[in-house]
Structure 1
Amino acid sequence: MTRNTERPHLGLEALEMMMKLLKSSLLGSAAALAAVGAAHAADLPVKKAIPVEFVRVCSAYGAGFFYIPGTETCLRISGRARAEVGFQTNENRNVGSQVGDVSLFRSLLRINMDARTQTDYGTLRAFIRLEAASRSGAFSTSGTQQRIANAYPALGVDQFSRVQQYVNTDKAFIQFAGLTAGRASSFFDFYAHDFEFVAATAGSDIASTNLLAYTATFGNGFSATISLEDPNFRKNTVLSASAAATTAQQSGTSAAQIFFSNYSLSPLILQQAANGNATILAFQDVIERSRMPDFVGVLRYDAAWGSAQVSAAVKDINIGGAFNQGLAGAAGVALPAANSAAALAFANARGIRGGSQTTEGFAVQGGLKINTPFIAPGDALYLQGAYGEGANVYTGVTAYTGTYTQSGTPTNGGPFAQYLSDATLNPLTGRIQLAQSFSVVGSFLHYWSPSVRSAVYASYSETNYARGAREALSLTQGIIGANAGAASFVTNPALFALSPVLRDNYQIVAGANLIWSPVKDLDIGVEGNYINTGMKSGRVIDQTKTTGVNNANFAALNAAGAIKTLNNYDAAQVRFRVQRDF
């Protein structure tokens, strides 16, 4: 049998041919499918990728500005972190909040946002600044800020008036075509404690007030501003005296003693008893109403050598009505009913008219800043002076002791109160009498090197009350802080002579600081202040060494040498600060 050796060879060729045909078919089919898919894809909508918009630098307004994406508005975000530790002299360990405290701590944050847009009318600007702080210890809590609702205290027995949180809408204003509207620094201010840590020198410094102002520029550095400003941030009260009086219900010649104390009311003496004792028959509401804005006018000049400014302000002082409280009188004196014809007759005899009263206070200020680069680059000198009537916050005599109160001790636990009211109500005439005040301040900044600088500063201020105001108030009871020990309505003249109530007073502040900036926008510094507060004449009781004095025991204590007096009071404060701006 012969083997057929040709068949296997013929089968391999056929297989190779079939594989080639299959490969050609597959490739053709794939090409056809690709062509059909491309044809269909051409008929579908194409979804484009969202373009990425990068933040652009805005160089029109200085470093740090960038365009808000999608707008032509430039924005700069900045802020501050600050830490302070300090020490203050305080030798008083008597009962009272913060008495005896000497250490203080404070941490503060600040956030700024500055938005600007160029328009056909010039730059449209909006600026906001928020501040918050935590404070504790001696003089680190602020009664001034608490009185205007910028701060709130801890309520613990050991923390009240010693621990405080602080929140403030410091700035929120709009500027456009010369108009400034919102919460901003008062246009009246000039130096405004620019070179100080604590802002202790006398001088106006209202960093946050609500206002509506217009500024006109005349070229060559001259400008003028008219500003309507919130009056509530420039009121330092019309003095009200608490009164120790007797009740109207009397039995024979005896009188039940009561102690009347209300800061909203001031006593009026409508009748005087035959024996010379004062008979208090009514009380006047002395809370100031908000009727009109403060009117501020400013002329300013800015040049390469520095700047100069003249400011003036007029403020409304408006109080409530009289005869709206119960009556009181000395023992055995018949009392007319409140608002009766007899009471009104007594008032008319003294020229007192019931109802509200209005008068005007004013302040003027001049300031000069001189750049002194011939000493060192960055050096500058400030000089400023102010005078006012019924305008103690404008002259800044309240800067260290405290604002929005009729009196306060220079430091917590101080030996006497410094009286700083804008005005007083004369109890004999029922008329408002304005206080006069003035302040002068100087401050010099020097750069020892580009990274080391220091400032020295000093101020002198006075507060003077109208002639007769103190004497008239001496006829009322309780204004020395103690109830009468006898039925007499005449305050002991010798005791009242040692009272600080409505005493003309002065304050001297001097200080210096040293700041090291090892890197840009970082400050490490220390500052020390000396404060002297005193009476322009006479002496007052030292409350840290003499307590519980009243009409009944004054003579005995005085004879025994137990009453200690002084004319002025010294205080010192040191603060260490670390601050980073960005």
Structure 2
Amino acid sequence: MTLTKSLLLGTSGALLAVAGAQAADLPSRKAAPVEYVRVCDAYGAGFYWIPGTDTCLKIGGRVRIDTWYTPAKSAVQLRSTGGPAYTGVPGGGTASSTYTSANGIDQLGWYARGLLMMDARTQSGWGTVQTVVTLRLAAQTGLAQAGQLSSVPLAVAGTTGATIEAAYIRFAGFTAGQAASNFTFLPSNQYHSIWSPSFPSGIRQFAYTATFGGGISATVALENMGDLAAATTANSLGFNPYSATAATATAVAPQRLPALVGNVRIDQPWGAAMVSAVVLQNNANFATPGIQAVTNGLGPLVRKTGWAVSAGLRINLPMLATGDSIQAWVSYGVGALNYTAIPNLNANTATTANYTGGFLRGDRDMTIYCVGVGCASYGVEQAAALNIAGVFTHYWTPSLRSNLVGSYIRLTPGSTTRNTDWTNGGLSSATGWSVQTNLIWSPVRNFDIGIELSYARLQQSLTGLNGAAPTAVPCTAAAPMCNASISPSNWTGRMRVERTF
């Protein structure tokens, strides 16, 4: 037995030795290292290294559901030749008038939004290269499809669409692409927009930001005029005091130059402050029926320089509660309504004032009118606007907060526009104000359930020819315009459920 065991062990050892020698003669192959996704903490939470690269990526998103109720108001919208196709008015060469009854206007609005957000960053010898893309898919119906200040939302079928909310590259202080405007200061944290400019979806731009010590920075930027709703079309006065011939403007104004924007900002533990300015060029082609007959509708190119200045301040109030703050913003401009007064077309949603009904036209920066017999020449003037807005944020508990928001606006058209009968496209000065309050509960981080109540009021008069009483407006079964209020008001109740991840 012992001899047998010895023979077996010896044979096994010999076989192993031979196998080892043969294996040594075979070519060796090392297993490839496994690439694991690693946390990248250089840029904050949520970033991961892309395997095989030196780039960190953060992927997130948001789902937002909104619904709101606004009582319908009978409305007549003031517009003139060259303006958008809002519900009709007399004037601007239009002999008849139209009227929208409250019976034909939606009272409900619905939004469903899904956002996909990507932020990629790579370190270089010149600093961080940042690339941001935010895509939005949305479905909306009813009031959610309204335009801006003077639109009348009518009952229409729901629509869906895809939008680029942000797409930019930042490198060595430069920003190229679609990013937040460098002029505005207040955040778009309210549910309904107030009478204040808003660019939550950004504006296409080339910008440079210089950073100094002590939290001080300065930015200069060229921003795309084509993103400004009020700058893309000029209004004109029809049958104005200077001639019995209507002046007209092309439907879309030619864009010749970008808007030039600059700001200086300071960010400190106590809060932040910023001053900013913008200069832009408003353009339109002027024509009369005679010019249109020989130039295919295009006449002389009209140019006018618009401008605006602003100042903003935010003060943190940790002595009240962690996260509390008060913010204020004031701006004044001429021919730059998008930067001073009007929530941009890509705003979160329209103002409550969209649904006040009555008469309002604050839709265009520039108005053209005839000068001389037979409209031999043209005049041009721009609308001025003063805007004051503020937000107070208070945390009742770490998971329960509220915002109190208010704004005031004063729109002042040029003197010729103010002294033209409103039925011919004239427009008086107008004052509007709005207030909102909301309550937002966050049962878990980045999950909000909120309600908001807002109120808006418009005050104005309808100017007649050279200061006289406005032309009488017939009240008929087809056009009962006298039923619309000149200085209307309205309120909105809104609910939102939102999850960011």
TM-score of the pair, normalised by structure 2: 0.81
Q: What letter matches 1:527 in structure 2? A: E
Figure out how many residues of one structure are paired with residues of the other and give that number.
460
Q: What letter matches 1:135 in structure 2? A: Q
**Structure 1 residues 546, 380: closer, same or farther in 2, change over 3 A?**
farther
Match of 2:47 in 1: 65
Matched, 1:399 2:343: yes
Counterpart Cα distance in 2 of 1:98 and 1:122: 59
2:359 to 416, 431, 442: 416
Conservation of the 8 A alpha-carbon contact between 1:380 and 1:445: yes
Q: What letter matches 1:450 in structure 2? A: P
Match of 1:124 in 2: 129
Match of 2:300 in 1: 355
Counterpart Cα distance in 2 of 1:540 and 1:204: 34
- Three-state SS of the structure 1 residue aligned to 2:444 is coil
Conservation of the 8 A alpha-carbon contact between 2:309 and 2:332: yes
**Structure 1 residues 168, 142: closer, same or farther in 2, change over 3 A?**
farther
1:109 to 114, 121, 126: 114
Counterpart Cα distance in 1 of 2:437 and 2:134: 28
Matched, 1:514 2:459: no
Conservation of the 8 A alpha-carbon contact between 2:432 and 2:457: yes
> Per-residue displacement from partner, 1:170-225 (whole Å, max 9, x unpaired)?
1111111111111101111110333x112234234353211111111121121110
**Structure 1 residues 544, 162: closer, same or farther in 2, change over 3 A?**
farther
- Three-state SS of the structure 1 residue aligned to 2:322 is coil
Matched, 1:449 2:393: no
TM-score of the pair, normalised by structure 1: 0.70
The structure whose Rg is larger is 1
> Per-residue displacement from partner, 1:387-425 (whole Å, max 9, x unpaired)?
1111111102x229x689xxx994458233433311100
2:169 to 150, 171, 174: 174
Per the TM alignment, residue 31 of structure 1 is displaced from its structure 2 partner at its CA by: 5.8
Match of 1:250 in 2: none
Match of 1:313 in 2: 278
Conservation of the 8 A alpha-carbon contact between 1:418 and 1:500: no
> Per-residue displacement from partner, 1:36-78 (whole Å, max 9, x unpaired)?
4433322111222221122221222211122111222222212
Conservation of the 8 A alpha-carbon contact between 1:202 and 1:509: no
RMSD: 3.8
2:212 to 204, 209, 218: 218
Q: What are the residue-to-residue correspondences of 1:184-195 with 2, within 5 Å?
A: 184-194=179-189
Conservation of the 8 A alpha-carbon contact between 2:193 and 2:343: yes
- Three-state SS of the structure 2 residue aligned to 1:531 is strand
Conservation of the 8 A alpha-carbon contact between 2:358 and 2:488: yes
Counterpart Cα distance in 2 of 1:367 and 1:450: 27
Q: What letter matches 1:468 in structure 2? A: T
Matched, 1:53 2:35: yes
Conservation of the 8 A alpha-carbon contact between 2:173 and 2:208: yes
1:535 to 460, 476, 479: 460
Per the TM alignment, residue 435 of structure 1 is displaced from its structure 2 partner at its CA by: 0.7
1:43 to 14, 17, 25: 25
Per the TM alignment, residue 285 of structure 1 is displaced from its structure 2 partner at its CA by: 3.5
Counterpart Cα distance in 2 of 1:413 and 1:201: 13
Per the TM alignment, residue 517 of structure 1 is displaced from its structure 2 partner at its CA by: 1.1
Conservation of the 8 A alpha-carbon contact between 1:230 and 1:293: yes
Conservation of the 8 A alpha-carbon contact between 2:473 and 2:482: no
Q: What letter matches 2:317 in structure 1? A: T
- Greater relative contact order, per chain length (Cα 8 Å cut-off, separation 6+): 2
For structure 2, the 5+ residue unaligned runs are 76-98, 372-376, 464-468
Counterpart Cα distance in 2 of 1:31 and 1:409: 91
Matched, 1:198 2:192: yes
Matched, 1:370 2:315: yes
Counterpart Cα distance in 2 of 1:66 and 1:131: 23
- Three-state SS of the structure 2 residue aligned to 1:115 is strand
2:235 to 218, 232, 240: 240
Per the TM alignment, residue 91 of structure 1 is displaced from its structure 2 partner at its CA by: 4.5
- Three-state SS of the structure 2 residue aligned to 1:320 is strand
Conservation of the 8 A alpha-carbon contact between 1:522 and 1:579: yes
- Three-state SS of the structure 2 residue aligned to 1:568 is coil
Identity %: 34
Match of 1:153 in 2: none
Matched, 1:386 2:331: yes
Counterpart Cα distance in 1 of 2:485 and 2:155: 30
Q: What letter matches 1:385 in structure 2? A: V
- Three-state SS of the structure 1 residue aligned to 2:144 is coil
Per the TM alignment, residue 527 of structure 1 is displaced from its structure 2 partner at its CA by: 0.6
For structure 1, the 5+ residue unaligned runs are 1-15, 148-158, 242-265, 273-277, 329-336, 340-352, 475-479, 481-495, 550-556
Q: What letter matches 2:34 in structure 1? A: V
**Structure 1 residues 114, 545: closer, same or farther in 2, change over 3 A?**
farther
Match of 2:259 in 1: 294
Match of 1:140 in 2: 144
Question: Which stretch of structure 1 is more off in the superposition, 385-394 or 314-323?
Answer: 314-323
Match of 1:10 in 2: none
> Per-residue displacement from partner, 1:90-109 (whole Å, max 9, x unpaired)?
14498689933222222111
**Structure 1 residues 100, 540: closer, same or farther in 2, change over 3 A?**
farther
Conservation of the 8 A alpha-carbon contact between 1:88 and 1:572: yes
**Structure 1 residues 570, 95: closer, same or farther in 2, change over 3 A?**
closer
Counterpart Cα distance in 2 of 1:457 and 1:227: 29
Q: What letter matches 1:110 in structure 2? A: L
Matched, 1:80 2:24: no
Per the TM alignment, residue 540 of structure 1 is displaced from its structure 2 partner at its CA by: 8.4
